Amino acid sequence: MEMREIGKSGIRANALALGCWAIGGGEWWGTNDDEMSVKTILRGLDLGIHWIDTARVYGFGHSEEVIGQALKQTDRSRVILSTKCGLQWYDHGGEVHFTKEGNTVSRDLSPKAIRRDLELSLKALGTDYIDVYYTHWQCKTYGKVPVAETMGELLRMKEEGKIRAIGASNVDLKVLKDYVAAGELDVIQEKLSILDRKAETDLLPFCEANGITLQTYSPIEQGLLAGKAPDDYVPGKGEVREGKTWWKQENIRTANEMLAGWKDLTDKYRCSLANLCIKWNSMVSPKINVLCGARKLSQIEDTAKSMDIPMSKEDYLRMRRDADRAIGKQV
């Protein structure tokens, strides 16, 4: 699997990473088999997927706990571990972000809040350092907590050896520039799929110009691009797909029509539709790392095949054109 450096950190990772939001379960993702989740993580390591990503808020700490169980069964040095701070439900500080499972979650990137998050994450994960530490969601009110204050605390954590690289998730270009001005930012995390390419317009060019990795999430639109959703599928109340644009029935039909047109590509490369879309994502830029979720052995084993596809530039451009037509039909 292709190796790419994470920003300027000196840390090298495979171009494909394992996202562990779903492993947290709860109302977002439903009940999980934690033992299977652990097996999935360990199988991913064996297949070369060494970057494991989570967040303090995923499953309200449960995702980190499950990863911690997996880490006990392997050599910590095999793993590039990232988690995120700044979404807290412990007190009423910050700005309210959402309410879930009886918890009111607030965005709080104050030095006190992110320090508390770090210590809780280290305990849950059973490790004494985090390889990549992200701020999860930025302040709703610009400047409520100045980026320089947040970055100052992150740099102190780095000096202490508790984190190795600094990242920011869900940023706009203005805030991204603030992070770069304030300190050493190596990676950002933002959505990018063949059906949602907004990050290409501003974030990606800035990252490429400044040596920053863009770790992309939702490359298969939370399962839609796997091609298994029926045209009449309706997400359940409270599920993560509820209210998402591409999960409207009209848009599911449009996506399925596009995917049906790629049968010759799946036959040519002997791969799944998900493999095609993940590989496509990785070809957008050499500064991209693709984040894919999995909580079953079959999922991680299929996902791992994606980077081995010898996709031609011609097929890459054809997929982009087909997706452009689908985006034009979106309602």
pLDDT of residue 250: 96
Active site residue: 58, 133, 217, 269, which one? 58
233 catalytically annotated = no
**Residues 33-88 pLDDT 10s:** 999 999 999 999 999 999 999 999 999 999 999 999 999 999 999 999 999 999 99
Distant-in-sequence, close-in-space partners of 192: CB < 8 Å, separation ≥ 6: 199, 200, 204, 214, 216, 217, 218, 219, 281, 284, 288
Q: Specify which residues 24 forms β-bridges with.
A: none
pLDDT of residue 239: 85
pLDDT of residue 240: 86
**Residues 193-210 pLDDT 10s:** 999 999 999 999 999 999
φ, ψ of residue 152 in degrees (nearest 5): -60, -45
**Residues 95-151 pLDDT 10s:** 999 999 999 999 999 999 999 999 999 999 999 999 999 999 999 999 999 999 999
Largest Cα–Cα distance of the chain, in whole Å? Answer: 54
pLDDT of residue 237: 86
- Do residues 135 and 168 touch, judged by C-beta distance below 8 A? yes
Closest by CA to 18, choosing from 60, 66, 61, 57, is 66
* Predicted TM-score (pTM) of this structure: 0.96
Closest by CA to 165, choosing from 65, 60, 62, 84, is 84
pLDDT of residue 167: 99
pLDDT of residue 2: 86
pLDDT of residue 144: 94
Closest by CA to 214, choosing from 231, 198, 235, 234, is 198
Structural domains for the chain: 3-224+274-311 (3.20.20.100)
Q: Looking at the predicted structure, is the pLDDT value of residue 1 above 80?
A: no
